[in-house]
Amino acid sequence: MEEYLRPTFTIDCDSPIIREKAKEVTSGSADASDKAKCLFYFVRDQIKYNAIADYLDLEAYKASNTLMRGEGYCIQKAVLLATLARVIEIPSRICFADIRNHLLSENLLAFTGTNVFIHGYDELYIREKWVKVTPVFDAELCEKYGFIPVDFDGYSDAIFHRYDRRGKKHIEYLEYHGSYPDLPFDMIKKFFLDLASS
C-alpha cells in the first residue's frame, strides 16, 4: 500500500495547508470510515464544481492549488480527495472512465463539441477493500439543476446516478481506464488535445 500513501507532485499530501485541512476536517472522527466521509463531503461541497479549467496545465491539478482555488472539475477534485485521504493514512488512488453526460448544458456542449468525457474519481481503501468515491457535483449545483447528489456512507461505493430527479437519463459509464497511484497527466493531456483537434 506504500505507493498509495506517498506524496507526488500533484498529490502533495506533504503540503502544510493540505495536512492542516485534512486534520481540521477529520477532527473528532472515530475511525477511517468516518474520516473518509468527512473528507468526501468537504471536497464535494466546499470545493465547488467548475467544468471550465486549464486542462493542460499540470500545476492546475496540484491538490494544494485546488484547495486554495476552492473549485475544480472532476479530476482536480479527485486528486484533492486522494491527497487529503493520504494525510490521514487512508490509501487512495485515482481512477478514470469515459462517461456520457446526457444533461450537459448547451453552453458546455458548444464549448467542448461532445458530451463524452474522461471522468476522474477516487478509490479509497477502507475496511480492507477499495471503495469507489465520486466527490464531484456539489449539493448547491445539484439543487439548482435537479441532479441527485452522490452521497457516501464511509464504506460503500458512491458513484454517479444514472438518472436525475425527474427521471431523465444523466450519467452513463462507457469505458473504464484503470486506477493509478499518481495522476496520469499524459493520458489526460492526450484526451483534451484530441478533443481540441476533433
pLDDT one-digit tens code per residue, 142-170: 999 999 999 999 999 999 999 999 999 99
CATH architecture of 2-197: Roll (3.10)
For 77-92, letters b (16+ CB in 10 Å) and e give bbbbbbbbbbbbebbb
Domain ranges within the chain, ordered by starting residue: 2-197
Per residue in 31-65, pLDDT (tens digit) is 999 999 999 999 999 999 998 889 999 999 999 99
Short-list 59, 89, 86, CA closest to 72: 59
Q: According to DSSP H, which parts of 9-73 are helical?
A: 16-26, 32-41, 63-69
> d(Cα 147, Cα 168) in Å, to the nearest integer?
10
Residue 176 clears pLDDT 90, i.e. is over it = yes
pLDDT score recorded for residue 184: 97
How far is CA 130 from its chain centroid? Answer: 15
3-state secondary structure (DSSP) of residue 127: coil
Residues 2-22 pLDDT 10s: 999 999 999 999 999 999 999
Q: Give per-residue pLDDT as tens, 93-141.
A: 999 999 999 999 888 888 788 899 999 999 999 999 999 999 999 999 9
